[in-house]
Amino acid sequence: MSIFAVFAPEKPAVLAARIRAVFPEDHLTVSANSWLIADGGTSQSVCEKIGLGDDKSLGGAVVVSVSGYYGFAGPMVWEWIKAKWLRAALGRNRTRSQPRFRRRHHP
């Protein structure tokens, strides 16, 4: 699971609606024109999932993969990042259709 920062200088309200629809549980609105998205793909695949480039009504945006972070923001931002990366570290970025295998202990 990677985290992507999305910046939209044009039509942020239209793009915000699309991001909410495509990533309902895996996005965080940082400001009116910027979001964080958690996804297992690449910057390009996130753009494609949102429809950037294909759907001209969305305007333009930049999607950047995040490899580290530092800054000053409310606790909600840091907690969201930590939760998404922790979920990935624990292997919980499987889709619902993928089976979960458990290790059995035999006496």
Q: How many helices (H) and strands (E) does the chain have?
A: 3, 4
0.75 exceeded by pTM: yes
Is the model's pLDDT at 18 over the cut of 80? Answer: yes
pLDDT digits (tens, 9 = 90+) for 29-75: 999 999 999 999 999 999 999 999 888 888 889 999 998 888 898 99
b/e map 63-72, b = 16+ CB within 10 Å: beeeeeeeee
Q: Burial, 90: exposed, middle or buried (Cβ in 10 Å; 0-12, 13-18, 19+)? A: exposed
